[in-house]
Structure 1
Amino acid sequence: MITTTHRTTLLAAVGTALALSLTACQGDSDATSSSSAAPAATVASTPAAAASTGGKGSGASDAAGSAGSADSTGSSGSQGSADSTGSAGSTGSAGEQVAASTPVCTAGDVRVTAARQDGPPYTHIVLTAKNTGGHSCRLKGFPHIQLLESHKQDVPAVAKSKPASPVVLAAGAPAYALVKLSDGGVDEDNEPVSAFSVMLEGDSTVIAVTAPGSEGIAADPAKALTGYWTPELRNGADDF
């Protein structure tokens, strides 16, 4: 009995020791498992953090890119489209604006004279309209000329002689118009002209102009042509 009791006590003690040993081993295993699991969790969170950081970096990059595209000179501040000198302040446009505000020349503003053209073709004379007024004026179109009392129609104008811009005469400045009298043939129906009439466009006042030369000029009204007023003296052969 003593032996049996002793063995039972011994077995119980051994069992208790084994249980404690197993418990300790399990505790060590759990601790080891926990310590090994912690780095795994950190490694797993690192790509996530990197991905999050990458996302923020991409957003910043996109914002910078958007700011760059929004502030680009080409899209928002193009000097060519906003400050183009050709479209906003061309000389032609400025000249037309000045001409539009300048009063039209009348017979009282100018003195019209006639002279033979210096050099060939000898069938042309030159009309000069000089601004004798004290202010600038705009000389419109071409002179309305009647060479003979028997021929009441105005001498036709040559369209290609029309200047590209309005003719504005400052005080004392001249303008010119070439007048073709005939074709220069000996068989033409020419008539002597000692004086003829000129009217300015926009004014019905008749200006009497003395023909050049002591004997006047010979003109064929059927062949006569006139050029437009121009600020420079031109060769009649260039236009008609």
Structure 2
Amino acid sequence: MRKTHRTAAVLATLTAALSLTTLAGTSATAAPAKAAATVTCTAANTKVTVQEVQRPLNHLLLTAKNTGTKTCYAYNAPFLRFDDAQSSIRVIEDSAPQSVIALKPGESAYAGIGTSSAEGSEGYQADKLGVLFSNRAMDGGAGSVTYPKLPAGGVYVDSSAFVTYWQPNPADALVW
């Protein structure tokens, strides 16, 4: 009886090995799977614009429209710097969406920008906004900085300024 179990185990092992060999041979001759046609959204494949909104007060809407030919991912939140500030404005962590925003060609992602509040200090009139897309790990930028045109006369910015994560629609971006 013991010999029969051992023989069955050896046969099962040989069958599995033979199956793996066959599968390996099959996959080697099969056509390779086509790589996904997606890239990270950057200034090179999007058009970034800023617009003033009526509500909520002291907010701007940042729009990134995919102008490329491939789907791009708008990871995390954009890094924003007004004028020659030494660091990016803070990101509202609670604004993180359920998933990464994927933009097919022609589609847009949105981020809300809060420019000032009653709690803010050290305010100034900003004339320039630098936007840098985030890499997937959110530990650095992707591509180069782009400078969308601010509303005429610039915007008042103080220490309470913030930006949201990229959102799939403007209403979600302006909730914060």
TM over 0.5: yes
Distance verdict in 2 for CA 1:102–1:120, change over 3 Å: same
Question: In 1, Cα distance between the equivalents of 2:150 and 2:130?
Answer: 10
**CA distance in structure 2 between the partners assigned to 1:217 and 1:106 by the alignment:** 24
For 1:104, the equivalent position in structure 2 comes to 40
Displacement of 1:184 in angstroms is 4.9
The answer (yes or no) to whether the contact 1:115–1:126 under 8 Å persists in 2 is: yes
- 2:115, 2:157 within 8 Å by CA — same for their partners in 1? yes
Mapped to 1, the partners of 2:174 and 2:49 lie a distance apart of 21
CA contact (8 A) 2:82 2:127 kept: no
- TM-score of the aligned structures, taking structure 1 as reference length: 0.52
**Aligned residue in 2 for 1:166:** 100
The question of whether the paired residues in 2 share the 8 Å contact of 1:178 and 1:234 is answered with: no
Distance 1:210 1:217 in 2: 11
Amino acid at match of 2:163: T
Residue in 2 that maps onto 1:96:
none
- 2-structure distance, mates of 1:225, 1:131: 23
The alignment partner of 2:175 has SS state of: helix
Give 5+ residue unaligned stretches, structure 2: 1-35, 136-141
Higher helix share: 1
What is the root-mean-square deviation in Å for CA atoms of aligned residues? 2.0
2:111 to 157, 164, 177: 177
> Which of residues 78, 82, 92 is equivalent to 1:147?
82
Give CA deviations for 1:59-86 in whole Å, capped at 9, x if unaligned. xxxxxxxxxxxxxxxxxxxxxxxxxxxx
Structure with bigger gyration radius: 1
Deviation at 1:162, TM superposition (A): 0.8
In 2, Cα distance between equivalents of 1:107 and 1:210: 14
Quote the residue 2:67 is aligned against.
Answer: 132
Which structure 2 residues correspond to residues 86-105 of structure 1 after superposition, within 5 A? 102-105=38-41
Using the size of structure 2 for normalisation, the TM-score is 0.70
Question: Of 135, 138, 145, which residue of structure 2 is paired with 1:206?
Answer: 145
SS of 1:205's equivalent in the other structure is strand
> Contact (CA 8 Å) 2:130, 2:146: kept in 1 or not?
yes
Which structure: greater strand fraction? 2
Matched to 1:183, the amino acid is S
